[in-house]
């Protein structure tokens, strides 16, 4: 019986100041203080222990969790759905195809119309540079205004399920994986992580994962190396965040044009394809102009550009360069696996196979991360609320 472990973790949580998350949104990890980030992990650990002990953390007897996915998604959709369900919220999809949003409704109007009984809004909008995060802030401002005007009985919390800048539920789950793997947040200090571009035969993968990783991991005193071929730069603003974080945390943020250099002595490697930032900006303009020919030719250009870097693959040879030849391999999934899901891709099949279980563990934290974000926006004192949940001792399965 591990409720004493839960009580211990709640005591640790109570030491952290997370009041800034109360009634606020979770849009970028670098909007949040170190205490808030650490508190999210503590809540994640507590929620996991509660579930293992068959104690239900349901805090909502009713309420909607609105989801808006502007891009296909399986794992994030299920993570959001699982988190909402765990806490007692019901997911209602805002399907722009089925709705009247396309017919001239303003963001402000729609945001209020769907929120009369919504406690959470989750949005994935990662397709266009300069648009996704901005849209989320517009929705957040809209429901804030509606709440202040008394139109909304409660203030729905926005959770960024992936935007053009950050993918906080992914990077936070990734970091949770590292915390579990290395036995504590404090053990991440001094570890080297290689966030590396990798070749993929597909086109236009979002930048939010590498940006999210360098924007978050630099906070923990880690040595973060970003590797990519020339022309695959990420947003300069996010690099600036990474540099500031590294300085403050006593870690480092380095860039290199060589995958091998990045992998050298790395404790963790995260090889993944993404599209060049500049090309994504160009694409956003082309879509705005509805220039389909332009998009097609840009796509051809980018595929040709990609093809120059087929050797950016996470092979056994590269893995052998890492710390004790056994760095932890990470990926947000699905990966492009050479000889499995494509002819040539991001990672060799033998490497991927060896890390299959860790990769699934990595993904498994996302529902808990989202649930923690929801709870901390709803309760000013999460330690107190979790103590009450523990004392209530409601069974998840009767």
Residue 4 or 62 having the CB closest to its own copies:
62
Instruction: Indicate whether 391 belongs to the interface with its own copies (CB under 8 A).
Output: no
DSSP string for 158-211: EEEEEESS--HHHHHHHHHHHHHHHTSGGGGTT-EEEEEE---SS----SHHHH
Residue from 3, 12, 33, 99 touching its own copies (CB under 8 A): that is: 99
Instruction: Indicate whether 363 belongs to the interface with its own copies (CB under 8 A).
Output: yes
Q: How far is the CB of 152 from its own copies (least distance, A)?
A: 8
Query: Is residue 59 a contact partner of residue 388, using CB atoms and an 8 Å limit?
Result: no
Q: In what order do the strands lie in the sheet with 118-125?
A: 90-93, 64-69, 118-125, 157-163
Query: Is residue 308 a contact partner of residue 231, using CB atoms and an 8 Å limit?
Result: no
Length of the chain: 398
Instruction: Indicate whether 392 belongs to the interface with its own copies (CB under 8 A).
Output: yes
Residue 260 has what DSSP assignment? H
Q: Phi, psi at residue 176, to the nearest 5°? A: -60, -40
Residue 331 has what DSSP assignment? -
Distance CA 159, CA 140 (A): 10
Q: Which residues 72-91 are close enough to bind its own copies by CB under 8 A? A: 72-75, 77-79, 81-82, 85-88, 90-91
Instruction: Indicate whether 333 belongs to the interface with its own copies (CB under 8 A).
Output: yes
Distance CA 263, CA 272 (A): 13
Residue 40 or 152 having the CB closest to its own copies:
152
Q: Which residues 196-225 are close enough to bind its own copies by CB under 8 A? A: none
Residue 71 or 186 having the CB closest to its own copies:
71
Nearest Cα to Cα of residue 329 among 201, 222, 214, 193: 193
Residue 142 or 218 having the CB closest to its own copies:
142
Torsion angle (degrees, nearest 10) of CA 69, 73, 78, 79: -80
Q: How far is the CB of 162 from its own copies (least distance, A)?
A: 13
Residue from 140, 378, 386, 390 touching its own copies (CB under 8 A): that is: 378
Instruction: Indicate whether 53 belongs to the interface with its own copies (CB under 8 A).
Output: no
Residue 86 or 123 having the CB closest to its own copies:
86
Of 159-167, 276-284, 311-319, 339-347, the window that binds its own copies (rule: CB under 8 A) is 339-347
Number of residues that bind its own copies (CB under 8 A): 76
Q: How far is the CB of 230 from its own copies (least distance, A)?
A: 28
Q: Which residues 126-165 are close enough to bind its own copies by CB under 8 A? A: 146, 149-153
Instruction: Indicate whether 334 belongs to the interface with its own copies (CB under 8 A).
Output: yes
């Amino acid at each position: 019986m591990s409720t004493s472990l839960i009580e211990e973790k709640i005591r640790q949580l109570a030491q952290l100041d997370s009041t800034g998350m109360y009634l606020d949104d979770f849009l970028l990890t670098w909007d949040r203080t170190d205490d808030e980030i650490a508190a999210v992990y503590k809540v994640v650990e507590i929620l996991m222990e509660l579930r293992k002990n068959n104690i239900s953390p349901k805090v909502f007897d009713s309420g909607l969790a609105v989801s808006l996915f502007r891009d296909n998604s399986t794992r994030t959709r299920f993570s959001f759905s699982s988190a909402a369900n765990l806490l007692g919220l019901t997911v209602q999809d805002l399907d722009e195809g089925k709705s009247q949003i396309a017919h001239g409704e303003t963001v402000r109007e729609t945001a209020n119309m769907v929120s009369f009984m919504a406690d959470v809004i989750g949005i994935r909008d990662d397709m266009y540079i300069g648009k996704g995060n901005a849209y989320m802030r517009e929705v957040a401002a809209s429901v804030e205004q509606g709440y202040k005007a008394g139109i909304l009985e409660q203030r729905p919390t926005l959770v960024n399920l992936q935007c053009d800048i950050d993918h906080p539920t992914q990077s936070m789950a990734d970091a949770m994986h590292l915390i579990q793997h290395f036995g504590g947040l404090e053990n991440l200090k001094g570890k080297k992580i290689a966030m590396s571009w990798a070749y993929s035969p597909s086109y236009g993968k979002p930048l939010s994962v590498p940006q999210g990783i360098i924007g978050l991991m630099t906070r923990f005193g880690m040595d973060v190396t970003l590797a990519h071929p020339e022309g695959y730069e990420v947003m300069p603003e996010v690099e600036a965040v990474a540099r500031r974080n590294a300085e403050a945390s006593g870690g480092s943020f380095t860039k290199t044009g060589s995958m091998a250099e990045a992998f050298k002595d790395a404790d963790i490697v995260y090889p993944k394809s993404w599209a060049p930032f500049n090309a994504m900006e160009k694409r956003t303009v082309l879509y705005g102009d509805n220039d389909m020919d332009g998009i097609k030719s840009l796509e051809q250009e980018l595929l040709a550009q990609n093809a120059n870097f087929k050797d950016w693959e996470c092979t056994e040879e590269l893995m052998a360069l890492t710390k004790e030849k056994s760095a932890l391999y990470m990926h947000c999934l699905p990966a492009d696996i050479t000889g499995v899901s494509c002819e040539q891709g991001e990672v060799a099949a033998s490497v991927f196979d060896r890390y299959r279980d860790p990769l699934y563990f990595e993904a498994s934290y996302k529902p808990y991360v989202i649930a923690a974000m929801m709870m901390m926006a709803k309760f000013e004192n999460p330690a107190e609320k979790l103590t009450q949940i523990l004392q209530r001792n409601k069974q998840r399965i009767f």
